[in-house]
Structure 1
Amino acid sequence: MRHALFRATRAAVAAALLASASAAGWPAVAVAAPVSLPGVVTQLAAGQPCATGSPRTAQAQPWSRRAMGLPRAWQLSQGAGVTVAVVDTGVGTGIPALAGRVRTVGDADRDCVGHGSFAAGLIAAAPGDGTGVAGVAPQARILAVRDTDERGAVTAAGVARGIREAVDAGADVVYVAHALFTGRQELTTAVAYATRGDVLVVAPAAPDTAPTDPRTGRPDPTARPCFPAFVPQVLSVVDYGPGDSRPQNAPFPFAPDLAAPGDAVVSVGPRGAGHYVGSGSSLAAAHAAGAAALVRARYPRLPAAEVARRLTGWAYPASVPKLDPYGAVSAVLPVRQDPLPDPVPAQLPRPGSDRPRVRALAVAGGAGAVVLLMAAAAVVVPRGRARAWRPAGR
């Protein structure tokens, strides 16, 4: 367990009365102190026994639930009909908060480490009697896919295989728990496979355990990209804690897409109704995956890329935008309209021939001349006859 877990736990204790409002305008929220809960780890140390059910249950509502505005979001969507794959250490099948909603690939129904079960609870745990702990999408289905060995050791090949297996098994969202410094090519290929299947991949932007320099054993400050989060099609997520506290991990060589609650968060263990506490970007990514399930349930025809755009576009503004599930499911997108057709130039009729007009004028002129001649004759003829056609004056 990284040092940030203990820092975040102490921060949660200090914030038990009231979490301070963040600079980005987050409201102050009451925080449940999780100090009495056992901690979840990403990998078991040598000789460490498998995780079991926690004997303790968190009664108060975790700070993360109110920070994300989940009660408002649940009025519009709870993730029903959406399958979220948990590519992690496995997911236990004896968890009451996930009862009847867990499907596994291979031996992923055994979770010796407990991390996969914890993440699955953050995504989809149903609220229970006497506890405020619940997942972001409490009606979503979980597809457990193991990408590690039994004790949590992970490889890039295992993660890539897990992503493919999740897509082939019908996942709508794929949550990847690990951030690796190796495996760029194979993980990029696996993400491309998911993208072609219209599946959104969500992954932590940094490992939960700060990298160390192998020569000195001290934290390595070198900024290096992590995979699969560094792949452009992946929704990359970083964690923050109560009062907007942030862990001091290695600097990011790229800007994460989202920040989500990930420090001092509470969820279920591999069996039973007890709870654990944990910290890390992997847990923040689990919250974002649950929010993606809310969006996919409310807008089932929305492509995966548009789901990611909703989560990032309607997040709370900050240096790294903060996840806002309610904003993502409630925002009204502008109606797409086809472009207006190009205007058709007006067609004026061609001018007619002058012949009819000339002919009409000639006829009218001739008729007028005849009338004038007849009028003149009516005057001249009688006078001429009266004078026997002799000139005037004789």
Structure 2
Amino acid sequence: MAHSADGGAHNRTASRPADGTGRRAGSHRDAPSRGRPGRTAATAACCLAFLSPGPAAAAPTPSATGSSAAISLPVIPTVLNGDECTGGSGRVAELVPWAQQHLGLNRVWQLSRGEGVTVGVVDTGLATRAGDFAHDVGGSAAGRDCVGHGTFVAGLIAGAPRPGSGFSGVAPGARVLAERGTDTAGEADARLTARGIRAAVAGGASVVHVSAALPRRSAELTEAVRDALARDVLVVAPAVPDAPPPAFGGQSPAPEAYWPAAVEGVLAVAPHGADGSRPQEVTPAGARLSAPGYGVTGRGPAGKGHFVGNGASVAAAFVAGTAALIRAYDPDLTASEVAGRLHRTGYPADPPWLDPYAALTATPADASAGGRTPPGVLLPRAEKSDGSLGRALALTAAGAGAVLALAGAAALVRRRRSAA
């Protein structure tokens, strides 16, 4: 996880379709297209705040209905700026947040809710409260999260819906396994991240979300990721840090690759806002997908209220949740095939936008990954006709002709009477 930066809050008007539809199913559209960036169906105010020093800084979150109304939520930090843990939020997002609408989750849940899949969350830990998740939370970091970022990310992946709020995670039926990849203040390093990945895999996770984006390669971290991939575990990580790199002036430029996202086989994710854009400073290298990452509503480590989060680690949470939906919907797919399907079915952009419904319903364009043959489409068997249909159609046509003839005769009689 990247260090926090006092970047302030940047408000930007954004637009997305209000109902979250317009997704692709394979190579065909089965609903009206959701607008490309700049094409509006409704307007919402989007927070492009990077990371504030603490949860006291409030930022607007987009309206859940596409109207101009918005609520102000505290920003979830990635690292603590002092000794005090992140407190709770007293502000509840009562309606469905823009990111969930953007992903069309109500439509997706008709097919899968992620049941039977365990998602590892390697972050700052996880504070648990009754009703937050459909299943008991496991892992060595469960019940401890002073920063709150791990709790926020886990909620985006598998948070259960609550009465009085429109918020829900992508895969509310999935189980979360929390492992720490940082120290208690939220500072990440390669050793802690590698240990967290290994613990999540050992705990039975088939999808692992990692929030860290480290600027230097580590042999220990690379080996942990490769071991996870070898065990058919999909690793999802941010392609860039949550906070933009500082201005370097005449010094060396910011790194173009971050770990573990740069390890071959990891599904690297970039963030975008409600209008599809991202700050110029955030230029992902090697990202295979883009997902909602700015002005995202989620839960914090305490209280019943909500926070707003920003960055690629937030976007990666949506991808990890979608991967859980796919692994529950089609358990025969390998981790590599799930990653390929997510990439191929993304909404056309650079990188493609995450499209959960298309990923669940589309047949892969090729069978190159793992040698799988795409399943065919079963059509109804053609039955031999006994002529009854033709006779029925002939009788119907004859009846219609008789009705028309009688109507014409009656009209002729009326005209003659009128003339007389």
The correspondence for 2:232, drawn from 186, 198, 219, is 198
Are the counterparts in 1 of residues 134 and 174 from structure 2 also a CA contact under 8 Å? no
The match for 1:291 among 322, 326, 330 is 322
TM-superposition CA deviations, 1:304-358 (whole Å, max 9, x none): 00010111111101111000011111113478559xxxxxxxxxxxxxxxxxxxx
What's 2:262 paired with? 230
Residue from 361, 379, 383 that aligns with 1:330: 361
Q: Which amino acid aligns with 2:194?
A: A
Alpha-carbon distance in structure 1 between the residues aligned to 2:238 and 2:9: 20
d(CA) in 2 for partners of 1:169, 1:29: 43
Tell me: CA distance 1:296–1:26, structure 2 relative to 1, closer, same or farther (3 Å).
Answer: farther
Give the match's secondary structure for 1:6.
coil
User: Given that residues 123 and 289 in structure 1 are in contact (C-alpha distance below 8 angstroms), is that contact kept between their aligned partners in structure 2?
Assistant: yes
Map of 1:221-260 to 2, 5 A cutoff?
Answer: 221-252=253-284, 254-260=285-291
- Give the conservation status (yes or no) of the 8 Å contact 2:239–2:262: yes
Unaligned runs of 5+ in 2: 19-33, 45-61, 64-68, 375-420
2:102 alignment counterpart: 67
Q: Does 1:145 align with 2:179?
A: yes
Cα distance change of structure 1 residues 35 and 310 upon mapping to structure 2, 3 Å threshold: same
Q: Give per-residue Cα distances to partners, 1:152-207, cap 9 Å, x unaligned.
A: 11111111111111101110100000100123322221111101111000000000
Query: What does residue 6 of structure 1 align with?
Result: 9
Larger Rg: 1
Distance 1:5 1:294 in 2: 35
In the TM superposition, residue 35 of structure 1 has moved relative to its aligned partner by 4.8
Q: Which residue of 1 aligns with 2:415?
A: none
User: Where does residue 211 of structure 2 map in the other structure?
Assistant: 177
Is the partner of 2:72 in helix, strand or coil? coil
Work out whether residues 228 and 235 of structure 2, in 8 Å CA contact, stay in contact via their aligned partners in 1. Answer: yes
Rounded to whole Å, the distance in 1 between the matches of 2:17 and 2:307 is: 22
**Residues 1:82 and 2:117 are matched in the alignment:** yes
Residue pair 1:89, 1:108 contacting (<8 A) in 2 also: no
1:1-394 correspondence runs (5 A)? 1-2=4-5, 6-7=9-10, 10-11=11-12, 14-15=13-14, 21-23=35-37, 28=42, 31-32=62-63, 35-47=71-83, 49-94=84-129, 96-98=131-133, 100-105=135-140, 107-212=141-246, 221-252=253-284, 254-333=285-364, 336=372
- Report the residue type matching 1:77 in the other structure: S
Paired with 1:182 and 1:229, the residues of 2 have a C-alpha distance of 11
Residues 88, 115 of structure 1: 8 Å contact kept:
yes
Partners of 1:200 and 1:147 in 2: CA distance: 17
Contact 1:220-1:250 at 8 Å conserved across structures:
no
* Kept in 1: contact 2:115–2:173 (CA 8 A): yes
**Taking structure 1 as the reference length, what is the TM-score of the superposition?**
0.77
Structure 1 residues 4, 83: closer, same or farther in 2, change over 3 A? farther
> 1:180 aligns to what SS in structure 2?
coil
Helix, strand or coil at the partner of 2:138? strand
Alpha-carbon distance in 2 for matches of 1:227, 1:239: 16
Alpha-carbon spacing, 1:25–1:292, altered in 2? closer, same or farther (3 Å): farther
More helix by share: 1
- Write the distance in 1 (CA, Å) between the matches of 2:39 and 2:114: 27
1:65/1:185 CA distance change after superposition, 3 Å: same
- Give the count of matched residue pairs: 329
Q: What is the Cα deviation at residue 210 of structure 1?
A: 1.7
Q: What's the offset of the Cα at 1:300? A: 1.1
State the distance in 2 between where 1:82 and 1:5 align: 37
- What secondary structure is seen at the aligned counterpart in 2 of 1:212? coil
Aligned-partner Cα distance in 1 for 2:76–2:133? 18
Deviation per residue, 1:258-279 (Å, 9 max, x gap): 0000100001111332110011
1:25-67 superposed Cα distances (whole Å, 9 cap, x missing partner): 78656542665211101001134x2012211111121111111
Q: Which residue identity is paired with 1:230?
A: A
Q: Deviations over 1:88-124 (max 9, x none)?
A: 000111253225431122x442100000000001101
* TM-score normalised by the chain length of structure 2: 0.72
Other structure's SS at 1:243 match: coil
Q: 1:235 to 1:27 in 2, by over 3 A?
A: farther
The answer on whether the counterparts of 1:239 and 1:263 sit within 8 Å (CA) in structure 2 is: yes
Letter of the 1:44 partner, please give it.
L
Matched with 2:394 is: none
Secondary structure in 1 matching 2:73: coil
CA contact (8 A) 2:126 2:154 kept: yes
Runs (5+) with no aligned partner, structure 1: 339-394
